Amino acid sequence: MTQRYETVIGLEVHVQLTTNTKIFCGCSTEFGQTPNSQTCPVCLALPGALPVLNQKAVELAIRTGLATNCQIAPRSIFARKNYFYPDLPKGYQISQFELPVCEHGWLDIDLENGERKRIGITRAHMEEDAGKLIHGETVETSSNSLVDLNRACTPLLEIVSEPDMRSADEAIDYLKKLHQIVVYLGVCDGNLEEGSFRCDANISVRPWGQEELGTRAELKNINSFRFIKQAIEYEVERQIDLIEDGGKVIQETRLFDSNSGMTRSMRGKEDAHDYRYFPDPDLVPLVISPEWIEEVRATLPELPEAKRTRFVEELGLTTYDAGVLAADRELADYFDACVTLAKDAKGCANWIMGEVLRKLKETDTAIADTPVTPERLTDLLARIADDTISGKIAKTVFEKMWQNDQTVDQIIEKEGLKQVTDTEEIEGLINEVIAANPDQVAEYLGGKDKLIGFFVGKVMQASQGKANPGMVNQLLKTKLKG
């Protein structure tokens, strides 16, 4: 039944910008502080207080706009969105309406069938966040709601897409891509749970082939990628069922309940606010010079997509490896630092994706805090390359490196892990192994070549892993045949 309908999705993403202070006052934006401790006359909306625009927030908006291929407006206007709610102290939200700071952008997403799809970005506008209501948490306050205005006036960038997505998967691809970019840019900490990256989804369905869009429902504030997918899928089914049963989708705002996996109506079109937008007379037009835009452009980091391409085309990684390493900016920087030091991109990639990522995960450590710096890791790779240690022993050394800050050479020395390359010493071990396993020697000589692995293992074991495996292999063959 689903196949008879086409899903149309547009997304509005609220990105909390990583400024130290709020968008219209000097209060801290730090999360999780004592309620109302981070407030002042401006964000409390005391009589007579006036907003002053945080220039850093503008810079972050420009940054995001450029990275999402938007045009940066040379002149944009802040407007008041008027409505009453206890978490909105002024009785209006300062936002942008007719002239937003960014317009006409796009992002490309990669579809499952390998094709690329361009998702349009209608606009991105700056605005302030509201405060938070806490409803009766204790017995004394069970019939009250408390207002915490710490979050009020923190800077947001609302990024509005075109209704270009056709499935929940496309929507998630777009969101993940956008998430990755804003985190890469350092404009947002990307924390979905703390609400730093919030998504509203506009969803409608229409019979295949129909030009005209169906009536849409808006899903509010869904706080994980998984829930967004669930919510969209539920909502699409709901709308199709409704139409199939002869009903009509009505324009409304719906809330997703993550417990039941369902959406439910919050308010209909008839209850929609008339926000009475008008230009905020307390703020002057935001003028952004071409010089400012270029200044910001010059500080843009290489974005994930460009990094991936470079890793594949210039460093010869597989698409998969390049994808993993480019996904996180700090991991990619770590990798780049290693490659600069060691030249061996493949070796670096293997080690980072293997041991380094495993250990980070095991110890719940951020890549920025790893004790094995790119310098130390590449020192280790150099000792494998010059045959001082084997790849296997290197893993033991890596473990030790994680625990203390000794150099690779110090660890090898202290632990006696240096590879045995002395022919006589290895021959001695081989002789012992041959003497101890006469049956296997006979079988080998009888044509069972595979048993060479058995002998190599025994010799390596006898050397406590330190014998050079290549030499062991070669000397064994000579001895056994001799």
Partner 1 sequence: MTIYNLTLAELRTRLDSRELSAVEVTTAYLDRIAATNHEINSFITTCNETAMAEALAADQALAAGDIAPLTGLPIAVKDIFNTTGLPTTCASNILKNYIAPYDATAIARIKAQRAVIVGKLNMDEFAMGSSNENSAFGAVRNPWNFKHVPGGSSGGSAACIAARQAAAALGTDTGGSIRQPASHCGVVGLKPTYGRVSRYGVVAYASSLDQVGPLTRDVRDCALMLQAIAGYDPADSTSVDTPTPDYQASLTGDLKGLRIGLPQEYFIEGLDSDVRKAVAQATATYRELGAEIIEVTLPHTAYAVACYYLIATAEASSNLARYDGVRYGLRAGNAENLIDMYMQSRAAGFGTEVKRRIMLGTYALSSGYYDAYYLKAQKVRTLIRQDFLNAFEKVDTLLAPVAPTPAFALGEKVNDPMQMYLSDIYTIPANLAGTCAMSLPCGFSTEGLPIGLQLIGKPFDEVTMLRTAYAFEQATEWHKRKPEF
Residues that bind partner 1 (CB under 8 A): 41, 44-53, 80, 82, 84, 86, 89-92, 147, 274, 276-278, 281-284
274 vs 449, which CB is nearer to partner 1? 274
Vertex 12: Cα angle to 61 and 255 (nearest 5):
140
Nearest-approach distance from CB 47 to partner 1, in angstroms: 4
CB 199 within 8 A of CB 179: no
Nearest-approach distance from CB 406 to partner 1, in angstroms: 54
- Name the DSSP class of 26: S
Nearest-approach distance from CB 194 to partner 1, in angstroms: 25
Sheet holding 92-96, edge to edge: 92-96, 78-82, 278-279
Is residue 40 packed enough to be buried (19+ CB in 10 Å), middle (13-18) or exposed (0-12)?
A: middle
Nearest-approach distance from CB 62 to partner 1, in angstroms: 19
Residue 344, SS3 per DSSP: coil
Is residue 36 packed enough to be buried (19+ CB in 10 Å), middle (13-18) or exposed (0-12)?
A: middle
148 vs 170, which CB is nearer to partner 1? 148
146 vs 262, which CB is nearer to partner 1? 146
Q: How far is CA 403 from the centre of its chain?
A: 28
278 vs 292, which CB is nearer to partner 1? 278
Nearest-approach distance from CB 98 to partner 1, in angstroms: 11
274 vs 369, which CB is nearer to partner 1? 274
Nearest-approach distance from CB 89 to partner 1, in angstroms: 6
282 vs 427, which CB is nearer to partner 1? 282
Place of tokens 């850093």: 56
E-state strands within 346-479: none
Query: What is the C-alpha separation between 217 and 234, in angstroms, rounded?
Result: 12
Nearest-approach distance from CB 249 to partner 1, in angstroms: 23
145 vs 478, which CB is nearer to partner 1? 145
Count the Cβ atoms, other than its own, within 10 Å of residue 456.
18
Q: Could you tell me which residues come within 8 angstroms of residue 459 by beta carbon, excluding any fewer than 6 positions away?
A: 426, 429, 430, 433, 467, 472, 476
Query: What is the C-alpha separation between 448 and 223, in angstroms, rounded?
Result: 62
Residue 273, SS3 per DSSP: coil
48 vs 482, which CB is nearer to partner 1? 48
Nearest-approach distance from CB 45 to partner 1, in angstroms: 5
Phi then psi for residue 290, to 5 deg, are -55, -35
- CA Rg, the chain, in Å? 31
Nearest-approach distance from CB 275 to partner 1, in angstroms: 8
Is residue 43 packed enough to be buried (19+ CB in 10 Å), middle (13-18) or exposed (0-12)?
A: buried
Is residue 244 packed enough to be buried (19+ CB in 10 Å), middle (13-18) or exposed (0-12)?
A: exposed
88 vs 317, which CB is nearer to partner 1? 88
87 vs 328, which CB is nearer to partner 1? 87
Place of tokens 């240096």: 418
Vertex 220: Cα angle to 214 and 223 (nearest 5):
130
Nearest-approach distance from CB 286 to partner 1, in angstroms: 10
Closest CA to 158 of 123, 191, 182: 123
Closest CA to 225 of 165, 176, 163: 176
Nearest-approach distance from CB 398 to partner 1, in angstroms: 54
Residue 397, SS3 per DSSP: helix
Query: What is the C-alpha separation between 99 and 279, in angstroms, rounded?
Result: 10
Nearest-approach distance from CB 381 to partner 1, in angstroms: 54
Count the Cβ atoms, other than its own, within 10 Å of residue 354.
12
89 vs 374, which CB is nearer to partner 1? 89
15 vs 88, which CB is nearer to partner 1? 88
49 vs 172, which CB is nearer to partner 1? 49
CB 312 within 8 A of CB 326: no
Nearest-approach distance from CB 146 to partner 1, in angstroms: 11
Query: What is the C-alpha separation between 128 and 384, in angstroms, rounded?
Result: 55
